[in-house]
Structure 1
Amino acid sequence: MGEAGENESVGTVVVAGLTNLAIATAKLVAGLLSASSPRCSPSPAAPASRSTTA
């Protein structure tokens, strides 16, 4: 295995690393969007708090 084989291996590792980074970024964005959507939607009516003063 000469330099060509080593260059292909390095290239493969770089491409795999960049692909994993892109997937992680997409998952982060999706997680942030899904976590923020409940805050944007109207919340269900909360039960009225009762005062227990006598």
Structure 2
Amino acid sequence: MNLVVFEPLKGISCAECRKGPLPHLVRVSGVPRCLDCSQLGHLVYLPRGDAALTRRAR
């Protein structure tokens, strides 16, 4: 199963913990969940564009 993290355009709340609006979310079985409820809260989002930071993260 591949996980895809979305940046929603409108305010969406987590279906499990009701936090919101979420800056990033994961859809699990079509239901929006925050990264903490999806067990992905420990990950850090790296925006594109900083090649030096991306190389160091690998």
Q: TM-score range by the shorter chain?
A: under 0.3
Structure 2 length-normalised TM: 0.17
Structure with bigger helix share is 1
Structure 1 length-normalised TM: 0.17
Q: Which structure has the larger Rg over C-alpha atoms?
A: 1
Higher RCO (C-alpha under 8 Å, 6+ residues apart): 2
